A and B are shown apart, each in its own frame.
Chain A
Amino acid sequence: MRIAIADDDAASLAFLENVVIGMGHICARFGDGERLSAALLRDTFDLVMLDWNMPGKSGLQIVEWMQSTLENPPPVIMLTARTAKRDVTDALNAGADDYICKPEEESVIAARITAVLRRTHGGATMEKIAEFGGYRLDRMAQTIRHGGSDIVLTAKEFELADLLFRNRDRTLSRAYIMETIWRTSADLATRTLDMHISRVRSKLCLKPENGFRIFTVFGYGYRLETIDPSKDLEATG
């Protein structure tokens, strides 16, 4: 999972990053609210951890802004030294999914993160076999069966296809996909992702006839759309 952490205090930022990385997640760090807001507009995150008091925008303001601006706001955990009941309710009412009072132990924070992710992403456990439309994914063998034949994919192609299927109808940013599949977005040529998308598209025959299409969102990323055959023509005109 890809988790964004925003805190103006470098020490607590490093502490949270350690916790998140220790849990096997990918971490993106932000020193203030403004940079986080900008990133949220062009990038995908599975979870946002927010400090309440930051220069620029406060954590609460960002939560409110996310709810009103983002189409698919990621879940939010607020972290703060404030402990008043009123603050807790304010944060939760604004749209935060959980609330952690600093200081807190590493294990507690990890448990709270796992809980929020399970709640919002339908559980982190993945079945060995998953079916999406006419596609049957075998995660052990890393093969996809479609139309009566097994399709041979490379490991990365399978991971990408799995990611797209799991997040179907959700727009994923390029950075999100690259960091999830390749664990980095820094050294990777952006063409690599384009080429993998193209191969997955053609190998799996992801086209409307088969109930799916890969849609490029210009300047942002990709979305695997499910096609409802009974859908009105207007929607895709």
Chain B
Amino acid sequence: MGNEPGPSRPAADEPGASAGLRRRFRIEWLWVTALSSALVIAALISGWTRPADDLLYDAAMRAAPAEADPGILIVAIDEPSLATLGRWPWPRRLHAALLDRLAAARPQSVVLDLLLTEPEADDPSLAAAMQSLRVHLPAQFLVPGRDGKPFERIDPVRALALQAAGIGHANTAIDSDGTVRAAALCYAPGGRAVPLPHLMALRPLTRDCTTPRRLRFARPESFATISYVSVLRGEVPPALIAGRRVLIGMTAQGLGDRYPVPVSDGGNMPGVEINANIANAQMQDGWVRSLPLAGQIGLALAPAWLLMIGFWRIRPRAASLLAIALMPGTLALSTAALAVNWWIAPGPALLGIALVYPLWGWRRLQATSDYMRGELSSLEREAALPLTPAIATDSDHVTRQAEQLARAIAQLRDLKRLVSDALAGLPDPALVSDLAGRIVLTNGAANVAFGEALDGVEVDGLLADIAQPAARASIAAYLAHPASGHIEFEARDGRAFVLRRAQIVGADGAPRGRIDYLTDITVIAQARRDRERMLQLLSHDMRAPQAAILALVGPNQQDVDRVRIARHARQTLTLADSFVDLARMQERSFEPEPVIAADLASEAADSLWPLAQQRGVQISISDNSDCAFVSAERESLFRAIVNLIDNAVKYSPDAGTVTVRIDAAGEQVRLTIRDQGKGISPVILPHLFERFASESAGHAVKGVGLGLNYVAAVVQRHGGTIAAHNAAGGGAEFILILPLDRAS
């Protein structure tokens, strides 16, 4: 009884158990409750447990018998009387003589518990003796009666019946085991007859008096008894008889009716003594009451239901203890009730407890087993890892289930191994933390980077700790909203990391924890810094001396050398700027805005006006685009156009003209920049937009290489094309085609 079958607890309390298992448990629970209730009610109504119940009842009755009322006196037709007065039946004048004796002693009443149904010669003398006393006589019932009647009532001889104070029945209610435990206060065989009160009925009778009632018996031979013959001889002092209820009946062995009773310890009790007990019960209210049927059912079901609720609500061990406690509890309740003359048969309730416990244990095991089998099968179908060996299918059910379980465990182990192998195989630190933010799993790289004892450490704190103080705020901001990709930060030891945080989500979609993955980008960051430093050098440190040269040369236009020096210095500046611009542009993402192409060209031309004016070169803008917009990155496209016009100005002869045409055609905007120079050498032309394309003869060396390369890169970024050729009328022509801004 005390073992714990199945899961450690009913599913209702277990948040992890699936809804299916919980529903199954609920159904099984209802099923077990209903079945055991039905069996308990059936047992109660059909009396399956009566024999066992009566054992308890009889024992309790023996332990606490009734007190014999001193007001009852039995005049026994016993062995000495038979020995003295001769064989039974005696002539009725003996009874008349006895009654005369009794009358002299003035008893309260007399019950002559003898069947006097056949007329005899002595009847008149007996009738005369009865006149001076209150004598009750029994009627006889024949069931079934003669001539097919259901029963037949045979009253005492008419002469006697007329003198009787009352006629009663003396039928005993015999239980199925032959024992007399109850008495019916009225008798009406067939139910419809007018009930006849019991010989011993002393009180007004209720309507349901025909139902036998249990009564508490006194121990055998505990009523005051005197011998028939002693009374007849006048040996009994009248004081002994005066005021008592006298029962005259047979006690001698072999005479009259005798029945076993609860207190008789296997022996039988004479009918007259049973009647004395009935009278005793009437006088002392020694009747044992029982509950109405509904109450009996309720009490019989209560322990089983209590236990079922216990199975649902409390731990199995406690439920077992409850089951154990309920059995003696039920017995104790029955015994206690009997002490105050209430009889509650404990049998059905005990049967309920005895049924419920194994039934529920069985159904719960079955449900759990089915659930596990289902889960294992689905786990197997989902095939967490395709590496596990197959199962032999010819083994028996339990073996197969055990194998399935073993396999599932093996798969889990494999999976765990896979996870830890995968984690360990990662080249960079990875920190797995639970929902509370505490580290639960790390890899070797993390241990190398941040120390060995990381388990249980708060991960956000650790990350803040390894970062430089300046980076902590931004790390905290990222960790609070890690959806936005990743974050770069520098550690206190100088290393640089990219931090990515990913959520771990269970199969049910609920979060389980987080993975923080740190990529060491120290080398990349270093390279980036170096590059940045070089760009700084180019854009600032190299610019400054060139600007100083230009300042020193001054605006003097007359000195040819000075003009040349200024031009070279400016060229160096342009080269550096182009290089830096190109480098910067390539690391930037393309974020265009709508720009009017003609305006951009005009402003580019405006910015080159001082240079052009110096050499008398005219920049003529011819706009046929009607404010066409291009989707452009203003700064880089502006610079590209400046480069192109700048080139055109450079290669133009003094006092020449540079023509800039802007045309809109279809989905495109075309910029044409044409000079009146010597044109581009055919050797260079195919390689014009390659990086550092060098100048050769035919062109005055003016360093376009990087400038055009920049232009090509910008145009490519804008999804446009650039082409160069020598125009028919002489001079170079660059054609820049850009897509029209869609929205315009």
Given A233-B610, A234-B547, A234-B550: 13 more A-B contacts, CB < 8 Å: A198-B596, A198-B598, A202-B598, A207-B609, A208-B610, A213-B609, A227-B609, A231-B610, A232-B555, A234-B551, A237-B550, A237-B573, A237-B610
Q: A236, B610: Cβ atoms under 8 Å?
A: yes
Q: A231 vs B613: C-alpha distance in the bound complex, in angstroms? A: 12
A195 — which chain B residues lie within 8 A by C-beta? Answer: 596, 627
Chain A residues closer than 8 Å to B611, beta-carbon distance: 233, 237
Cβ of A91 under 8 Å from chain B: no
- Residues in B with CB closer than 8 Å to A234 are 547, 550-551
CA distance A92 to B717 in the complex (A): 52
A218 interface contact, C-beta 8 A: yes
**How distant is the Cα of A199 from the Cα of B598 in the complex, in angstroms?**
10
User: Can you name the residue of chain B whose Cβ is closest to the Cβ of A199?
Assistant: B627
B610 partner residues in chain A, CB cutoff 8 A:
208, 231, 233, 236-237
CB of B80, distance to nearest CB on chain A (Å) = 124
Residues in B whose Cβ lies below 8 Å from that of A237: 550, 570, 573, 610-611
- Indicate whether B594 reaches chain A with its CB closer than 8 angstroms: yes
15 A-B contacts (beta carbon < 8 Å): A191-B744, A194-B595, A194-B596, A194-B599, A194-B627, A194-B629, A202-B623, A207-B609, A208-B606, A208-B609, A218-B634, A218-B635, A231-B610, A232-B555, A237-B610
A214 located at the interface, meaning its Cβ lies under 8 Å from any Cβ of chain B in the complex: yes
B296 at the interface (CB under 8 A from A): no
Decide if B526 is an interface residue (CB 8 Å cutoff): no
Contact surface of A with B, Cβ cutoff 8 Å: 190-191, 194-195, 197-199, 201-202, 207-209, 213-216, 218, 227, 231-234, 236-237
- Residues from chain A with Cβ under 8 Å of B555 in the complex: 232-233
Residues in B whose Cβ lies below 8 Å from that of A233: 555, 610-611, 614
Residues in A with CB closer than 8 Å to B594 are: 190-191, 194
Chain B residues at the A interface, C-beta cutoff of 8 Å: 547, 550-551, 555, 570, 573, 594-596, 598-599, 602-603, 605-607, 609-611, 613-614, 623, 627, 629, 634-635, 744
- A218: chain B residues at CB < 8 Å are 634-635
Quick check: B598 and A209 within 8 Å, CB to CB? no
The one of B598, B603, B613, B614 that contacts A214, using a Cβ cutoff of 8 Å: B603
A191 to B573, CA, bound (A): 34
The secondary structure that dominates the A interface is helix
Nearest Cβ in chain A — how far from B301, in angstroms?
73
Contacts of B607 in A (CB 8 A): 236
Contacts of A207 in B (CB 8 A): 602, 605-606, 609
Tell me, rounded to whole Å, the shortest Cβ–Cβ distance linking A201 to chain B: 6
Residues of B within 8 A of A213 (CB): 603, 606, 609
User: Contacts A207-B605, A233-B611 hold; do A201 and B599 have CB atoms under 8 A apart?
Assistant: yes
Chain B nearest CB, measured from A209 CB (Å): 7
Alpha-carbon gap, A13 to B551, bound state (A): 52
CA distance A202 to B594 in the complex (A): 19
Known: A236-B607, A237-B573. A197 touches B551 (CB 8 A): no
Contact B606 A198 (CB under 8 A): no
The CA-CA distance from A234 to B543 in the complex, in Å, is 13
A202 partner residues in chain B, CB cutoff 8 A: 598, 602, 623
Q: How far, in angstroms, from A216 to B635 measured CA to CA in the complex?
A: 10
Q: Which residues from B are CB-within-8-Å of A190?
A: 594
Closest to B614 in A: A233
Q: Which residue of A lies closest to B607 (CB)?
A: A236
**Closest CB of chain B to A52's CB: distance in Å?**
31
Most B-side CB within 10 Å, residue of A195, A202, A227, A234: A234
Q: Are B613 and A208 in contact (CB under 8 A)?
A: yes
Interface centre among B594, B599, B629, B744 (most CB of A within 10 A): B599
**A201 cross-chain contacts in B, Cβ below 8 A:** 599, 602
Q: How far is the CA of A208 from the CA of B605 in the complex (A)?
A: 9
What residue in chain B is nearest A213 (Cβ atoms)?
A: B606
CA distance A15 to B744 in the complex (A): 42
| B598 / chain A contacts, CB cutoff of 8 Å | 198, 202
Cα(A191)–Cα(B628), bound, Å: 11
B605 (CB) vs chain A CBs: closest residue: A207
A199 to chain B, nearest CB (A): 7
Q: CA separation between A227 and B603, bound complex, in Å?
A: 13
A199-B627, A233-B555, A237-B570 are known contacts. Are A216 and B599 too (CB-CB below 8 A)?
yes
Query: Chain B residue with minimal CB distance to A209?
Result: B609
- State in angstroms the CA–CA spacing of A225 and B603 once bound together: 12
B624 to chain A, nearest CB (A): 11
Q: How far is the CB of A17 from chain B (nearest CB, A)?
A: 32
User: Which chain A residue shows the least CB distance to B598?
Assistant: A198
Contact of B599 among A197, A208, A231 (CB under 8 A): A197
Min C-beta distance of A56 to chain B, whole Å: 19
| A172 to B551 alpha-carbon distance, docked (Å) | 31
A191 contact set on B, CB distance < 8 A: 594, 629, 744
Across the two chains, which residue of chain A brings its CB closest to B550?
A: A234
Which of B550, B570, B610, B634 has the most CB atoms of chain A within a 10 A radius of its CB? B610
Instruction: Please indicate the chain A residues that have their CB under 8 angstroms from the CB of B629 in the complex.
Output: 191, 194
Q: How far is the CB of A29 from chain B (nearest CB, A)?
A: 28
**Closest CB pairs A-B (n = 6):** A208-B609, A213-B606, A233-B610, A198-B599, A195-B627, A198-B596
Shortest Cβ distance from A96 into chain B, in angstroms?
35
* CA distance in complex: A236, B613 (Å): 12
> How many angstroms between the C-alpha atoms of A213 and B613 in the bound complex?
15
Flag if B627 contacts A198 (CB, 8 Å): yes
- The interface residues of chain B lying within 8 Å CB-to-CB of A208 are 606, 609-610, 613
Residues of B within 8 A of A231 (CB): 610
Nearest-Cβ distance from residue A153 to partner chain B, whole angstroms: 15
Chain B residues whose C-beta falls within 8 Å of the C-beta of A216 in the assembled complex: 599, 603, 634
Name the distance in Å between A204's Cβ and chain B's nearest Cβ. Answer: 12
Kindly list chain B residues whose C-beta atoms are within 8 Å of the C-beta of A236. Answer: 607, 609-610
Closest residue of A by beta carbon distance from B612: A208
Which has the most chain A C-beta neighbours within 10 Å: B555, B570, B598, B627? B627
For residue B633, give the distance in angstroms from its CB to the closest CB of chain A: 10
Q: A residues within 8 A CB of B606?
A: 207-208, 213-215
Inter-chain CA distance A207–B619, complex, in Å, is 11
**In the complex, A194 Cα to B547 Cα: how many Å?**
34
Bound CA span A194–B286, Å: 117
Which A residues are in CB contact (< 8 Å) with B613? 208
Query: CA of A97 to CA of B605 in the docked complex: distance in angstroms?
Result: 41
Taking the closest CB of chain A, its distance from the CB of B596, in whole angstroms, is: 5
State A109–B12 Cα separation when bound (angstroms): 76
A191 to B595, CA, bound (A): 8
**A209 CA to B620 CA, complexed, in Å:** 11
In angstroms, how far is the closest chain A Cβ from the Cβ of B418?
A: 52
Most buried by B among A191, A218, A227: A191
Contacts of A227 in B (CB 8 A): 609
Minimal beta-carbon separation of A164 from chain B (angstroms): 14
Task: A227 to B613: give the CA distance in the assembly, Å.
Answer: 13
Contact partners of A194 in chain B: CB under 8 A: 594-596, 599, 627, 629
Residues of A within 8 A of B599 (CB): 194, 197-198, 201, 216
Chain A residue at minimum C-beta to C-beta distance from B744: A191
Min CB gap A86→B, angstroms = 38
**Cα of A194 to Cα of B599 in the assembled complex, Å:** 9
B744 surroundings in chain A (CB, below 8 A): 191
Residue of A whose beta carbon sits closest to that of B606: A213
With both chains docked as a complex, state the minimum distance between the C-beta of B604 and any C-beta of chain A, in angstroms.
11
CB distance from B31 to the nearest CB of A (A): 70
Give the shortest distance, in Å, between B643 (CB) and chain A (any CB).
14
Q: Which residues of A contact B605 (CB under 8 A)?
A: 207
In the docked arrangement, what's the CA distance between A207 and B627, Å? Answer: 17
| Chain B proximity of A133: nearest CB distance (Å) | 15
A7 to B555 CA separation, bound complex (whole angstroms): 52
Within the complex, what minimum Cβ distance (angstroms) separates B308 from chain A? 67
User: How far, in angstroms, from A208 to B608 measured CA to CA in the complex?
Assistant: 10
How close is A6's CB to chain B, nearest CB, in angstroms?
A: 28
A230, closest chain B residue (CB): B555
User: Which residues of A are found within 8 Å of B550, using beta-carbon distances?
Assistant: 234, 237
Residue of A nearest to B593 (CB): A190
